[in-house]
Structure 1
Amino acid sequence: MLLMEKVALLNRQNETFALAMIIESKGSTPRHVGKMIVYRDGTIEGTVGGGLAEHYIIEESVQALQIGKSKIVEYKLNRHAKDGIQMSCGGTLRVFIEVYTSRPELVLAGAGHLAYALSKLADSLEYPYCIVDDRVGYCTNERFPNATNLFVDEDIEKALRAANLNEKSYVVIVTKDGDDRVLKTALQFPIAYVGMVASKRKVITIFEKLKSEGVTQEQLEQVYSPIGLEISAETTQEIAISIIGEIIKVSKEKKPMKVKQLSR
């Protein structure tokens, strides 16, 4: 597989990685052209020439991944030059490090009108999403043609667990009922975000119930409910925009949720 084919594949798989590419070289350098994929753990595919320069480029790429920003780096491959690195080639190398960050993977728990509006926004943002519901008539390919998967079960908790929640999952609870059971299940996984549509009074009631079942206050403080940014949203479409806005904001902060295994 060609390197750029691998880049395209990783992007389709919604992976996080960096692509380091030589954009300019002057004088004597190990290579004048070259590309290299760098993963978060520092492993690579491809090369930009090897040696100390490549070592530094890998370090810079990992740092760029940590902050989520692309950058250009430049090295003088001359141990005797001011600001030079310990190499004897003598040339100069400029490298563009492009960061590819994974997009939020939405898990829409509920397949009603709000989930439908959210799915349309996800389509326009190219966010992958799946649908979880206990109603066969709502959770269909015709209604959600671009969903990566549909999880339907009379036991909605079972349907949610089948979605294989992970650190990329942004769970949006817009169910017709059973919010407490869905939320309790979601909190058992290391997800990136969980938000629930509910009034302030309903939130208090659900939280008190879950605390009596072993959910900690610390876990509940990580739940976004009432859900969405405060933009005085009223219509279904406006509420969907406020929710997506909140998810975008949270995704930039990159704070992992704390989990605790609970009895089911």
Structure 2
Amino acid sequence: MDPDEAQALVARCLADPPFLVRMIDTAITPEHECFDDSFSTLALTTEQCKQLEKVQGFITKVKHNALRRLLPCTFRLLSVTGLELQFFVSFAARYMEARLSGPLRTTQHFGLLTSALQTFLERVPVEKGAPILDMLSHERLLYELRVKTTSPDTPNVIIPNPHCRVAYYSFDVVPIAADLTRAPLATSPQLEERKHFLLYQADLAAGVVRVREINALMAAIFGQLFTAKTFSAVAQNLSTSIGIAVTEAQISKFVDDSIEAGIISSVDAAVFRRPR
């Protein structure tokens, strides 16, 4: 293979992820028939193909720098656990395919990346993947609530409401995020495990999302409020699940108290009271 041929082959592999996959298959199983006449006399070793995959993954990673400001702590955890390049190698083909019809809008790009990353993390060893999944959910909610596009498959979320969410976590995402923000880039944070619920409330006028911890009972009540059709149904479902009689009047008072305490807004409460 002369230098010009090598350069052409490398350029094709980097620009066309499916072509690179076929090149790897050919390198692993040389008896495969030639799949591209223009490269019929060329061949790469398996190791050379793997190195090209890494270069392609790195290029894909660089193309996602704009999303780092939206998922800063998720990217930091990917980096310190050694999973970042591995993810972008696996994501390169899907990303290139999505770009075939032109540049992606930020919300499209964000959704494509987070969906693929969620799938990737669910397949890695749980000791590495679980804390990053929690952080991904946390930062995903902070962004999606600000732009009002929360997707139904956002991990951890148990309440589908346009203005607030309740999410369940196994890791202490808020202090972990604070540590990551302050620490040097290469520092591995203390990943404290602590099962808890967080309530996210979007203030669209101010462009911020307020986050506070709530207990399991409050999370259960909010979950029922957003999914049941009436206050009486909420009371009945809660009575069944916790084994204590709950009345419709108690649920109504809970909502009123939550508004007064600033836990939810009157806009959020309207979702509870709206006829369904």
Shorter-chain TM-score category?
under 0.3
TM-score by length of structure 2 reads 0.23
- The answer to which structure has the higher strand fraction is 1
Which structure features the higher share of helix residues?
2
Q: Which has the higher contact order (CA 8 A, sep 6+)?
A: 1
